[in-house]
């Protein structure tokens, strides 16, 4: 979890969760591979370290990017599934008994995540959150 204090309001908590997912997706192991730091601190002859030593800097960079992409893709896919559950199955998030507004971008939780993940042109949170979703009724849809 992030080292900051959890905010009071549901909209701020949602933003915090998405930004926390963005930070979580930054793979520490990928950065270690890029820098050439040993993967295993306990066993210098570990198979992982032997493999990494055999790679060129360009190959380590490519492998690290693959790991970053896989981790970020996993977070994205999980948020996409949660969006499906919200949109199609009536899942609702609450925080301290209050409904949590989701999908600030209009592209699902995964859209908010991708917008906030873009290091070049990070999408800024809108001033106003979307309206909370109404209670879901399985007979209505």
- Return the pLDDT at 141: 47
- pLDDT tens-digit map of 11-38: 999 999 999 999 999 888 898 899 888 8
Phi-psi region of 108 (alpha: psi -120 to 50; beta: other; left: phi over 0): left
Within 8 A by CB and 6+ apart from 69, the residues are none
Q: Is residue 105 part of a domain?
A: yes
- pLDDT tens-digit map of 111-127: 999 999 987 778 899 88
Q: Is residue 136 part of a domain?
A: no
Tell me which residue of 95, 103, 97, 109 sits closest to 133, measured CA to CA: 103
Supply the Cα-derived Rg of the chain in whole angstroms.
19
Range of the domain at 24: 10-117
> Cα torsion at 62, 65, 70, 75 (round to 10°)?
180
Please state the domain count of the chain: 1
pTM for the model stands at: 0.81
Q: Pick the range with the lowest mean pLDDT from 50-54, 90-94, 132-136.
A: 132-136
Do the Cβ atoms of 104 and 19 come closer than 8 Å? no
Tell me which residue of 21, 16, 15 sits closest to 74, measured CA to CA: 21
Q: Is residue 68 part of a domain?
A: yes
Q: Is residue 66 part of a domain?
A: yes
């Amino acid at each position: 979890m992030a080292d900051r204090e959890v905010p009071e309001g549901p909209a701020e908590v949602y933003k915090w969760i998405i930004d926390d997912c963005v930070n979580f997706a930054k793979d520490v192991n990928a950065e270690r591979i890029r820098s050439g730091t040993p993967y295993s601190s306990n066993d210098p002859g570990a198979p992982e370290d032997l493999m990494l030593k055999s790679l060129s800097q360009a190959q380590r960079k490519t492998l690290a990017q693959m790991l970053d992409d896989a981790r970020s893709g996993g977070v994205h896919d999980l948020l996409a599934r949660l969006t499906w559950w919200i949109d199609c199955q009536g899942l609702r998030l609450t925080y301290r008994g209050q409904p949590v507004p989701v999908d600030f971008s209009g592209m699902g939780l995964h859209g908010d995540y991708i917008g906030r993940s873009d290091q070049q042109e990070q999408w800024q949170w809108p001033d106003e959150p979307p309206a909370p979703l109404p209670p879901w009724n399985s007979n209505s849809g």
